[in-house]
Amino acid sequence: MQAQLLAIIRKKVNIVILALFAVVLIASFWLMLRPKEVYRFEGSFTPAPGVVLREEPIYEDISLRPGVYQVELSYETKNPMGYLCTAKDETVFHGGLLTNGENLYGGKGKTGYLMWLLEPTDRLDICLSYEGDISLTTGDLIIRKTGYMGSILFAGTLLVGLLYIGLMLYRSYDLAGCVSKEQKKAIFGVAVISLIASIPFLLGVSLNGADLTFHLHRIEGIADGLRSGQFPVRIEPEWVHGHGYACGIFYCNILFYFPALLRLAGFPITFSYNIFCVVLNVATAIVSYGVFRRIFTDRNIGLVCSALYTLSGMRIFKTVMTGGPGENGALLFLPLVVYGFWALLAYETEDIRFKKSWIPLSVGFAGLIQTHILTCELTAFVSVLVCLVCCKRVFAKSRFLMLCKGAFASLVMTAWFVVPMLDFVWHENVHVEHISGRTIQEAGLVFRDLFFRWGLSPTGVGFYLALVLVLFGVLWMSGKCKKEAKDIFALGKISLCLCVLLMSMSLQVFPWNKIQALHPILASLISSIQFPYRFLGWANVFGILLVGCCLWYMRQHNKRTGYRLLMLGAVLSITAFSLHQLEYVSKYQGTYVLYNVEGMGRGYISGAEYVIEGTVDTELTYRDALPDENVVISNYDKGSLRAEFDCVNTGKEAGYVDLPLLLYRGYRAYNPATGEALDLFYGENNTVCVEIPVGFNGQVWVRHVPLWYWRVAEAVTLLGYGVWIWRCKVRKK
């Protein structure tokens, strides 16, 4: 009776909580749609000349209610930058006003940054920071309230509600006896692994890494592209000071759509990036656990291998210390490739696991192509080695056809990205195609870097995996491997050989320079690798497979002492690395918080790999259209990958208008009234130049339009997914 009463109370409490979630969702949706206030302030300000460094308010004591606001300060300046406009308020609580402000770029004319105000105020100041000789005059201020506070509340409530529903479902399954103790232990273990890996991203700050700024620009570039109606986003429209940058053509952004959607919902960029990294850690822990558990048919071994993989030095180095979620996203898919080859080679052809082996293979390779091309190249190299070693099984008819099926499926899944990328490779003279002269041997590691060293960023496999290499080598040489299941120890032998090979390829002594000199194609491929330590990503995978093989051997022979020592070694290895990570981060890595992307600018493009060859990226600044002397333009309007203007050619020869847009494939210029197409050619810095015919008098529209065969490739990918879903439903029936 008491149990029934508790069940009734629990059910009613759940209904009340879900009703509250629904009310909050409706209220937040109303906040998004309600009319927004606009506050206008007139005035002007000209800083005094000769000031060395100064910050002073130019609009003071502004009264605002809580919300997310866009700050637009008009200005005129001849200097490209050197001034910062931001918002200050000493009366709100710490963290009650979030913004980085925006630099005042010459040629832009007004700011457009966001600020998050979390409590009402009457003392908000809009401040200007400047130093040195100045040439600046500010104008009117407009503060627009946005609907982002409602969308943030909506997204947050929806997420919490889904988590609560998930917990309710788990509890109901648990009470029904559908969740075993082993499953509970696995869920708890994966949660702990994810939490430990995510600690650096739960501190509310960003750890400064060499690649972090570039990837933050990628997130913001996708958000800008989606705002402009571009999907999928191939050219980030506001990157390079509004000129557009074709990063999405060469570096697929599929995983970055999640943080970009958070940005569209109104979350600050640091928060969006940190949540993205947390989700990536959780997904990696789950996928790696599932793969290793299925290979070794043991949940404990799956948990240990998942912990070693998710918390590996190479992976944390890329995520935390270099700020490289692109390459780290690729590490999510390596275990899937491993399981795909395992299912292809280890199981009999009548086994259902063999018949489904093409699925992890296709998803794994498709994920690699759409996250990090270089890791995909390394994976292709490793796959060729595996196929050569297992050539008798691979080239058996049924297995080879299954391998081809997986390859074909991965091509269908990635056609939407691969076709435009190859189109640019074949038809655009992009800078990335001219870097084959870069050598990588000098960037290799020395032998001691393969192991653990305090005070250095960890990239090697570590002492624990090195000891496991030796242990499995002893088992192999002792002949004990022959007495056990051949598939597990065949996996161990292949893993040992490939792990040692890949570790050696990461060293400075490996003759990369001599190999590059053999052929231009080899030179280009090796040059694209950049850093030999990237081979340690796969070396780490094979080392963890060896850990699983050794644990499996100890379990099969009931060697409890050896089994427990290996488990203890794994725990100590993870603990030592975690302490080292904490020590390294606290000593060598700075932190900062970025709220609005304007605070970091729009010009950083790392090595400028994806601009047209010969482009001087430092000269691509905010500016207006530049007509030649015989062309007069008016009503000029510049947007995302577009421009519109009226023009008249008063000369006796064809003229031109030079636009602040990089000329990539897909741009079209025409007269919207007549449909007349106008020719385009490269400007002085590879910008869009529209040729204006003699006697032309009318309007000109310039648009970037995806090519028709890009759309066909997208349709092929959608059709492939549709066929797959349909076949799954048919088989279930």
**Does the pLDDT at position 187 exceed 70?**
yes
- For tokens 């918390």, the residue is 311
For 460-523, the DSSP string reads S-HHHHHHHHHHHHHHHHTTGGGGS-HHHHHHHHHHHHHHHHHHHHTBTTS-HHHHHTT-HHHH
Across 435-459, average pLDDT: 68
- Cα angle for residues 32, 34, 37 (degrees, 5° grid): 105
Which candidate, 264, 248, 28, places its Cα nearest to that of 706?
248
- Range from 84-98, 141-155, 204-218, 707-721 that averages highest in pLDDT: 707-721
**Terminal alpha carbon distance of the chain:** 41
Q: How much is the mean pLDDT over the chain? A: 83
Which candidate, 248, 183, 186, 174, places its Cα nearest to that of 217?
248
Residue 643's SS3 state is strand
| pLDDT score at 413 | 92
**Percent of residues, the chain, with pLDDT higher than 90:** 16
Q: How far apart are CA 34 and CA 26, in angstroms?
A: 12
168 token code pair: 């309710």
CATH classification of 623-709, choosing from 2.60.40, 3.30.160, 2.40.360, 3.40.50? 2.60.40
Instruction: Give the pLDDT band of residue 449 (cuts 50, 70, 90).
Output: confident
What's the CATH fold of domain 38-146?
A: Jelly Rolls (2.60.120)
pLDDT in tens, 341-366: 998 888 888 888 888 888 899 999 99
- Please say whether the dihedral angle defined by the alpha carbons of residues 532, 538, 540 and 542, taken in this order, is positive or negative: negative
Angle at which helices 486-505 and 462-477 pack, to 10 degrees? 130
pLDDT in tens, 582-604: 677 767 777 778 888 877 878 88
Q: pTM of the full predicted structure?
A: 0.90
Across 563-567, average pLDDT: 82
- Of 305-309, 342-346, 405-409, 573-577, least confident by mean pLDDT is 573-577
Q: How far apart are CA 323 and CA 318, in angstroms?
A: 6
